């Protein structure tokens, strides 16, 4: 009787899988394709390696920071192709860009993808925050019944998730061994041949393209405050100061990521300070030599204001990039924040007060 029921369940599984295999054009199918009978029914979903125009539009919106919290897939276990009990299991974040990069790299491989609930955050950032971590992996293994799906006990986890994953705890608590794969999903097919990563696979790159694609999101985050500050300064008649704010923002948001590898110093804050300082020198010299009708102290005052405020704006914006690059570590970011943020606040505060005083003097007719 048991054999008959198992055979019937297997037949039903195949029929359901056949019916649903073409239900979605997005490539991210979340429909249940079969369940495993037993004490609990575990739902397994299906996906493919196809990246559709809809997916690419989603990627563009994510890069632009549009509806940032909505670029996620449903956590759980997904099949790729026609996996069997001995097929590999890969672990991914539920951020659409992370999930899509993985499945597109595995499009010719029969496998499973275990998607963790990282709240729509990529692997690197989620690992730093603990969302892509030991507890979530153990919980997800249990919730999808992974022990009943595969006959091996190996999880291939992205290298950039190592910050949040304690491999020993995962093994002790779930029975699954964590195998850290290469940095880039594109290297996985080659990695699977030997299950050994070459030095090139382990190396972390932050290319010009990788840095440029971050610019739109950062600009979106700070565009409105910077525009408000510029408009206020323009309304009080200080068009040069308004232009200075825009230049400082441009230095921190655009020039900094583009020129990052060639800017001296190691901390992002000091790199941004140097970029803003170079821009500030231009405005300081312009104020000193072009304001020939003003008192000497006013000319010095405006020059000093630019030198105080502009580098701090660029430094702050540059520091924000630490959360977007693998060049920075969690401890390094914390050190930078606690070291430089108080300095930025005090120096920029003094500079803003100086600008208010100088603008007031200009409004009432000068001294």
**Sequence spans of domains, the chain:** 2-204, 209-363
| CB-CB neighbours of 66 under 10 Å | 14
Region of 88 on the Ramachandran plot (φ > 0 left; ψ -120 to 50 alpha; else beta)? beta
Tokens standing for 293? 């009708």
pLDDT at 334: 80
pLDDT at 82: 93
pLDDT at 28: 57
Torsion (CA) 272, 276, 281, 283 in degrees, nearest 10 = 180
pLDDT at 31: 47
| CB-CB neighbours of 26 under 10 Å | 19
Helix axes 296-319, 239-250, angle to 10 degrees: 30
Largest CA distance in the chain: 102
The conformation of residue 187, written as its DSSP 8-state character, comes to G
112: β partners: 79, 89
Q: What is the C-alpha separation between 105 and 117, in angstroms, rounded?
A: 21
Mean pLDDT for each 10-residue chunk of the chain (367 residues)? Answer: 44 38 42 46 83 89 81 93 94 94 93 94 86 94 93 94 93 95 92 90 83 83 84 78 90 92 89 94 88 80 91 91 68 82 92 85 65
pLDDT at 65: 78
- What burial letters (b/e) apply to 272-295, b meaning 16+ CB within 10 Å? bbbbbbebbeebbebbbeebeebe
CB 332 within 8 A of CB 163: no
User: What is 2-204's CATH topology?
Assistant: Rossmann fold (3.40.50)
Residue partners of 358: CB distance under 8 A and separation at least 6: 298, 301, 302, 305
């Amino acid at each position: 009787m048991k054999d008959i029921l198992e055979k019937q369940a297997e037949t039903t599984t195949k029929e359901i899988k056949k019916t649903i295999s073409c239900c979605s054009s997005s490539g991210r199918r979340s429909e249940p394709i079969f369940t495993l009978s037993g004490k609990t029914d575990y739902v397994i979903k299906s996906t493919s390696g196809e990246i559709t125009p809809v997916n690419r539009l989603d990627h563009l919106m994510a890069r632009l920071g549009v509806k940032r919290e909505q670029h996620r897939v449903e956590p759980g276990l997904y099949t790729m192709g026609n996996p069997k009990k001995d097929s590999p299991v890969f672990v991914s974040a539920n951020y659409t860009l992370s999930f899509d990069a993985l499945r597109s790299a595995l499009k010719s491989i029969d496998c499973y993808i275990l998607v963790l609930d990282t709240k729509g955050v990529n692997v690197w950032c989620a690992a730093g925050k603990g969302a892509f971590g030991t507890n979530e992996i153990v919980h997800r293994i249990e919730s999808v019944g992974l022990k009943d799906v595969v006959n091996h006990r190996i999880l291939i986890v992205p290298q950039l998730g190592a910050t949040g994953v304690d491999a020993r705890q995962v093994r002790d608590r779930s029975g699954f061994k964590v195998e850290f794969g290469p940095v880039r999903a594109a290297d996985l097919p080659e990695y699977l041949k030997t299950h050994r990563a070459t030095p090139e696979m382990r190396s972390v790159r932050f290319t010009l393209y990788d840095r440029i694609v971050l610019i739109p999101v950062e600009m979106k985050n700070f565009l409105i405050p910077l525009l408000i500050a510029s408009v206020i300064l323009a309304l009080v008649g200080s068009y040069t100061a308004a232009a200075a704010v825009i230049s400082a923002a441009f230095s921190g948001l655009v020039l900094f990521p583009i020129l990052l590898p060639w800017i001296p110093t190691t901390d992002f804050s000091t790199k941004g300070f140097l970029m803003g300082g170079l821009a500030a020198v231009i405005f300081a010299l312009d104020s000193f030599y072009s304001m020939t009708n003003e008192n000497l102290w006013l000319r010095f005052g405006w020059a000093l204001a630019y030198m105080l405020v502009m580098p701090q704006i660029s430094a702050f914006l540059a520091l924000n990039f630490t959360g977007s690059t693998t060049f920075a570590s969690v401890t390094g970011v914390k050190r930078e924040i606690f070291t430089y943020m108080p300095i930025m606040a005090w120096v920029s505060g003094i500079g803003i007060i100086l600008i208010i005083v100088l603008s007031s003097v200009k409004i009432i007719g000068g001294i």
